[in-house]
């Protein structure tokens, strides 16, 4: 279903959860610390150069951004986090909103957590993992920028992260590189499953 993700179209961006589109259909969220490579991953997955903004300024994106795939399926780019310059109050509000979102958003059916393979499982990644565990929402981890490591090092990191999370059946992990377009099929397969697309 690779071609399906090319349909992604920007619908709206909102500074808070109040501005979300109607809660129906299927939604998969993308989360990741600032600079992890989330925007690049969204662009790679949707095969579009500029759908999500790739920024060299960490933490610039503080909006939730919604993309329609079809009339009932959406991708959501969550604000980047873990950036020191974000005021504590903003972080606290974001935390509260995320609690609410994960617990109440009916259309939320899966999450993709983007981690820079060189800095996996940072505190905020663990927070995202906890939300997924608490709500049983499947979470797929992209260890991205895998091109920055040797094949061996990348595999070792993959095994280490898998080991750390092995008790959680609904968490899956893969290597990914937007630069080399590595791991695209696996990422699409996860999304196909979440969106209940018949392949």
Site for ligand GDP, rule CB under 6 A: 32, 34-40, 54-56, 80, 144-145, 147-148, 177-179
DSSP-derived 3-state class of residue 8: coil
CB of 166 to ligand GDP, least distance (A): 25
CB of 197 to ligand GDP, least distance (A): 25
CB of 2 to ligand GDP, least distance (A): 18
CB of 42 to ligand GDP, least distance (A): 8
* DSSP codes of every residue in 124-152: HHHHHHHHHHHHT--EEEEEE-GGGS-HH
Partner residues linked to 95 by β-bridges: none
Count other Cβ atoms within 10 Å, centred on residue 74. 24
Q: Can you list the pairs that 157-161 forms with residues at least 24 positions away whose Cβ atoms lie under 8 Å?
A: 157/117, 157/120, 160/120, 161/115, 161/120, 161/121
Q: Which is nearer to ligand GDP, 86 or 197 (CB)?
A: 86
Q: Which is nearer to ligand GDP, 54 or 197 (CB)?
A: 54
Q: Which is nearer to ligand GDP, 105 or 148 (CB)?
A: 148
What does the block give as tokens for 197?
């697309």
Q: Which is nearer to ligand GDP, 40 or 157 (CB)?
A: 40
Q: Which is nearer to ligand GDP, 32 or 111 (CB)?
A: 32
- CA-CA distance, 76 to 66, in Å (whole number)? 5
CB of 106 to ligand GDP, least distance (A): 27
């Amino acid at each position: 279903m690779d071609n399906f993700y090319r349909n992604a179209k920007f619908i709206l961006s909102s500074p808070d959860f109040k501005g979300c589109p109607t809660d129906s259909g299927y939604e998969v969220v993308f989360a990741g610390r600032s600079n992890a490579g989330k925007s690049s991953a969204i662009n790679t997955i949707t095969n579009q150069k500029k759908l999500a903004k790739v920024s060299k300024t960490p933490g610039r994106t503080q909006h939730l951004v919604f993309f329609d795939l079809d009339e009932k399926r959406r991708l959501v780019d969550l604000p980047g986090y873990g950036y020191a310059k974000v005021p504590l109050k903003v972080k606290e509000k974001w935390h509260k909103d995320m609690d609410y979102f994960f617990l109440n958003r009916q259309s939320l059916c899966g999450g993709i957590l983007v981690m820079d393979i060189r800095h996996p499982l940072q505190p905020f990644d663990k927070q995202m993992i906890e939300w997924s565990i608490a709500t049983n929402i499947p979470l797929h981890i992209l260890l991205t920028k895998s091109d920055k490591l040797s094949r061996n090092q990348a595999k070792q990191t993959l095994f280490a992260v898998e080991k750390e999370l092995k008790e959680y059946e609904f968490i899956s992990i893969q290597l990914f590189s937007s630069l080399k377009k590595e791991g695209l099929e696996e990422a699409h397969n996860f999304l196909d499953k979440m969106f209940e697309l018949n392949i």
